[in-house]
C-alpha cells in the first residue's frame, strides 16, 4: 500500500469551490451512467454564499469505516488506498457511515449498500470536470507545500514585484 505521504486523494479548495455541483454530475455519469447527485461519490456543501466545499473520501490511514464494519465488507486497497466495498457482504447497516467524520461514505439510494470514491482508476472525473479547478487529485504533502509557497509569496509580494523589474 502507498504510504500516507504517497496516497493521492480528491481534495477540495474552499477558496476556489463555488458549490456548483458539476463534480456530482460528472461522478454519477462516470459511475452510474446517469445524472443524479444522490448517486455521486463526492458531494458539494453550500453553507452560505461564502462557504462552499465539495467533500470526498480522504483515504484515511487505518480507516474508521473499515474498522467499523461488523461484516468485513469494507477493505482498503493495497494498491491505492481506496475503500473497497464488497457488495455481497454489505447489508447497508451504516456503521461505516457513522464512523466517517467527513460524510464521505454514503448509502446508495437504490442498491442498499454503501458506496464511496474509487478515484476513477486514477483519473477522477470530478477533478477533470471542475470548472473552477477547485479539486485536485493530490497528496497531503503537495497540499502543504503549495500552502507554504502561497503564504511565503503573500508575505514577500513586494520583494517579488521588485524582482521582476
Partner 1 sequence: MSYNKRILYVDLTTGKTEVKPLNEKLAKEYIGGIGLGMKLWLDHSKAGVDPFSPENPLLFITGPLTGTMAPSAGNSYAVVSKSPLTEGICECKAHGFFGPELKRAGYDVIIFTGKSEKLVYAWIDDNSVQLLDAEHLRGMSPAETDETIREELGDFYIRVSAIGEAGEKLSRVGCVINDEFRAIGRGGMGAVMGSKNLKAVAVRGTNDVNVANVEDFKEFVRTIYERMKGPATRKYRTLGTPENVLVLNALAALPTRNFSQATFEGAEKVSGEHLNERYVKKIIGCATCGMRCDHIALVPEGEYKGSTSRVEFECLWALGPLCGVDRLDAIIEAIRLCDYYGMDGISAGVIVAFAMDLYENGIITKKDTDGLDLNFGNHEALVETIKRMGTRKGWLGDTLAEGSMRAAEKIGKDAYKYANHIKGMELPGYDLRTLKTAALGFSVSFRGACHLRSGAYSPDVKGKVDRFKIEKGRGKIVMDGEDLYNVVDSLILCKFSRGVMYDGLKDMANYYTLATGIKMTPEEIIKAGERINNLARVINIREGKGTRADDTLPWKIMNVPVPDEGVAKGAVVSQKEFDIGLDDYYSVRGWTKDGIPTPEKLKELGLNDLVKIVNKKIGSKKRGK
Residues binding partner 1 (CB under 8 A): 18-22, 25-26, 29, 32-39, 45-46, 48-50, 52, 109, 129, 131-132
What is the 3-class SS of 76-126, one letter each residue?
ECCCCCCEEECCCCCCCCCHHHHHCCCCCCEECCCCCCEECCCHHHHCCHH
Closest among 143, 107, 98, 147 to 4, alpha carbons compared: 143
Q: What values do phi and psi take at 42, rounded to 5? A: -120, 140
Considering the complex, what minimum distance in angstroms separates the CB of residue 53 from partner 1? 12
Min dist CB 131 to partner 1, Å, is: 3
Closest distance of CB 101 from partner 1, Å: 17
Q: How many residues does the chain have?
A: 165
Closer by beta carbon to partner 1, 48 or else 162: 48
> In the complex with partner 1, which residue's Cβ is closer, 13 or 132?
132
Compare residues 69 and 114 and give the one whose CB is closer to partner 1. Answer: 114
| Residue 74: other Cβ atoms inside 10 A | 23
CB of 139 to partner 1, least distance (A): 26
- The least distance separating partner 1 from the CB of residue 46, rounded to whole angstroms, comes to 8
Query: Judged by CB, which is closer to partner 1: 9, or 25?
Result: 25
Distance separating alpha carbons of residues 8 and 2, to the nearest angstrom: 9
Backbone angles phi, psi at 159, to 5 degrees: -60, -40
Amino acid at each position: 500500500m502507498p504510504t500516507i505521504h504517497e496516497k493521492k486523494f480528491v481534495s477540495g479548495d474552499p477558496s476556489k469551490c463555488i458549490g456548483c455541483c458539476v463534480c456530482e454530475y460528472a461522478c454519477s455519469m462516470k459511475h452510474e451512467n446517469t445524472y443524479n447527485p444522490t448517486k455521486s461519490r463526492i458531494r458539494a456543501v453550500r453553507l452560505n454564499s461564502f462557504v462552499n466545499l465539495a467533500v470526498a473520501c480522504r483515504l484515511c490511514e487505518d480507516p474508521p469505516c473499515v474498522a467499523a464494519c461488523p461484516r468485513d465488507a469494507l477493505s482498503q486497497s493495497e494498491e491505492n488506498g481506496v475503500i473497497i466495498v464488497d457488495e455481497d457482504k454489505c447489508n447497508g447497516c451504516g456503521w461505516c457511515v457513522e464512523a466517517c467524520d467527513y460524510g464521505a461514505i454514503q448509502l446508495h439510494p437504490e442498491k442498499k449498500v454503501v458506496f464511496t470514491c474509487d478515484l476513477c482508476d486514477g483519473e477522477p472525473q470530478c477533478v477533470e470536470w471542475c470548472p473552477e479547478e477547485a479539486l485536485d487529485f493530490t497528496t497531503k504533502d503537495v497540499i502543504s507545500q503549495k500552502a507554504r509557497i502561497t503564504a511565503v509569496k503573500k508575505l514577500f509580494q513586494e520583494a517579488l514585484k521588485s524582482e521582476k523589474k
